Amino acid sequence: MRALILAGAAALFFSSCQNTTAVHKEPYQWPSVQPPVAEKKPKDVGMFGDKRIDDYYWMGDYFFKGPDSTKVVDYLKGENAYTDTMMAGTRDFQEKLFNEMKGRIKEKDESVPVFKNGYFYYTRFEEGQQYYIACRKKGAMDAPEEILLNVNELAKGHAYYAIGGTAVSPDNKLLLYGVDTVSRRQYTLHVKNLETGALYTDVIPNTEGYGVWANDNRTIYYVAKHPVTLLSEKIMRHTLGNTAPDELVYEEKDKSNYINVDKSKSERYIFITSEATISSEVRYAEADAPRPVFKVFAPRMKDVLYDVSHQGDRFLVRTNKDAQNFRLMETSLDQTDVSHWKELIPHRKDVLLEDVEPFRNFLVISERKGGLAQLNIRNLKNNDSHYLDFGEPAYTAYASANPEYNSEVLRYGYTSLTTPSSTFDYDMNTRQKKLLKQQEVVGGYDKTQYVTERLMATAKDGTKVPISIVYKKGFKKDGSQPLLLYGYGSYGNSEDATFNSGRLSLLDRGFAYAIAHVRGGQEMGRQWYEDGKLMKKINTFTDFIDCAEYLIAQGYTAKEHLYANGGSAGGLLMGSVVNMRPDLFNGVVADVPFVDVVTTMLDESIPLTTNEFDEWGNPKDKAAYDYMKSYSPVDNVTRRDYPNLLVTTGLHDSQVQYFEPAKWVAKLRVNNTGKHVIMLKTNMDFGHGGASGRFDYLKDVALRYAFYCALEGIIEKQ
């Protein structure tokens, strides 16, 4: 999935005490330097008699290990030098922004402990350190601390270091964890003895980064990846200390499917799930069995998704079979075929059933209605149910870490555009909630100084598209103030309103920030997703444009003060809208953008391609080819005045390869008839999510913010 995942994202929820000050504006003077000129080597990449010339296909040579590999790296370095020169006048301002955002973070901090199997687990940060320390205490929080992983120590000597999933063995003695030091999401699994601190010699490379323990404390199930396409293609079984090759448990033959392995909350079952965009199939086995044979829960059905969880004497099945927005079914432990499923929660046209959290005596149902998340608590002892009330117009609420099956307390998270990340415990019997932690604000933060609204724009076809917006009190709705509009709109990902400490550096300088909840996400239900994919993908782009025009019409901003941002598949959105309406935005930042849609989707050796035919289409089909070509940003660059653009990528990106944005920028430059700047910034050490440290990624944020501010004439000294 080409979803943008920013490393250090948890730090975005920290708050701010910055006060609004008078903002001095003067036009930023762009240096008079020439950008790099990419060599043209025309290659016909068309099909069906369509001559489609790619002048910059050679830029893929670093990825494909072709003859121009060194030339590609040199070109990207030249682009970086050009961007650095163009932004040189903002260098002090970038440093100021970085220090400002870093200064909001409470450097010495600790998460709320989570209780599981006799231990309280938590992470903590030490002052000045980039990474967390994973810890636990036995039985009570006043017990001695055990350090499971000090990621600061592990990361020494690495430009990038990320821990994947972690899993403690059922007997609490062993820790399984994944490590990625390249930023291509190819993790190596390690096992640590928590009693001695020693690492086992068992090392498992090229995995998805997590594993599941069988109940014997010796057997590990994990997902192995294809070394080139990075497809999750095999479920393997590893026995500690066994030097023989690991055993194949399941191999996925369909290259359009993702596979994963997990364990039921009750610890009784291990599940293997194979899932494409529109269908899925689950296999299951007893976690106690020494060498289990996984049984198919229900055979794959055309256009039917289902997932399974265990509760007591039944399985719970969330499915869209005969239920577009999903419904909840149950079936006995020994009769799992679809003919035995019985309905618990029916389908509702106005409510999307997103997830189920089972407890022994309760069910917590995550739902979405009117674009907003809801938590429905169902008491299985008396069949009563109720919803939590959150009281804000735009927010995010979600069931958090709840590993204890027997608990009657729900741990949930809450945040909004103005409320810092908060963790609550909710007694499902007494209906009393307790705030355990709201991220501490260094220097104080007054949320009443910020205003959030939920707006509705009307799309060209009459559809109402939600917009979440936040700004500081005193914001003038006369078209004079800047606004940053964010969008994504793919894979059914719902872009909820969350707090972001970095964003306050814009709000406090007079910007508004808005999220366009465009079709292709799932905010308004499953149909919202269906109407923004495949042969309806154009709705994603026109919705974003309609939201922008609505904000201008309502006086929130004007074209000369409007900015846009999106990353990955959201970068595709940016590329498409600047082709369709280059006049609408003063500046656009496209992060790791998926912009060469047809060429990439034609090459099945490129990661994610076959997984995503159900999302974008397979261009080997002519109808899909023609439709994808009609919006693919690289294919639709023409002679016109493009807005100011800052495009970012990572040399080791596994989701969107660096050559897509590099080719796009080169083609934009050749065709740009105006004087607006077009810049490319390649992170030569990282991949899709940027830097891995909780502070380092802020340097990239500071660059983007300095770009917006420069275009507004806001350049402040240190």
- As annotated, the active-site residues are 568, 653, 688
CA distance 29 to 226: 48
Extended beta strands in 217-279, E state: 219-225, 232-239, 247-251, 258-263, 269-275
548 pairs with which residues across the strands? none
DSSP 473: T
CA distance 162 to 693: 9
CB atoms near residue 299 (< 10 Å) = 8
The answer to whether 681 and 650 are in contact (CB under 8 A) is no
For residue 197, which phi and psi values (nearest 5 degrees)?
85, -5
Secondary structure of residue 552 in the 3-state scheme: helix
Which amino acid, 279?
S
Q: Output the DSSP codes for 383-450.
A: TEEEE----SSSEEEEE-----TT--EEEEEEEESSS--EEEEEETTTTEEEEEEEPPPTT---GGGE
CA distance 607 to 275: 17
Which amino acid, 575?
G
Residue 311, C-beta contacts closer than 8 angstroms, at least 6 positions apart: 266, 358, 359, 360, 363
The CA-CA-CA angle for residues 460, 466, 470, to 5°, reads 130
Q: Write the CA distances from 466 to 495, 515, 522, 547, 548, integer angstroms.
A: 11, 8, 12, 8, 12
Helix H or strand E encompassing 502? none
Q: Write the CA distances from 364 to 266, 271, 305, 358, 620, integer angstroms.
A: 15, 20, 20, 6, 43
Dihedral over alpha carbons 79, 85, 88, 91 (to 10 degrees)? 30
Q: Write the CA distances from 638 to 221, 626, 649, integer angstroms.
A: 51, 18, 23
Q: Write the CA distances from 487 to 348, 483, 511, 587, integer angstroms.
A: 27, 13, 17, 14
Strand 372-379 to 258-263 pairing: unpaired
Which amino acid, 33?
V
- Measured in residues, the chain has a length of 718
CA distance 419 to 287: 41
CA distance 665 to 680: 7
The answer to whether 40 and 53 are in contact (CB under 8 A) is no
CA distance 336 to 319: 13
**Residue 316: closest CA among 358, 379, 375:** 358
Tokens of 266: 């009750």
The CA-CA-CA angle for residues 32, 587, 708, to 5°, reads 85
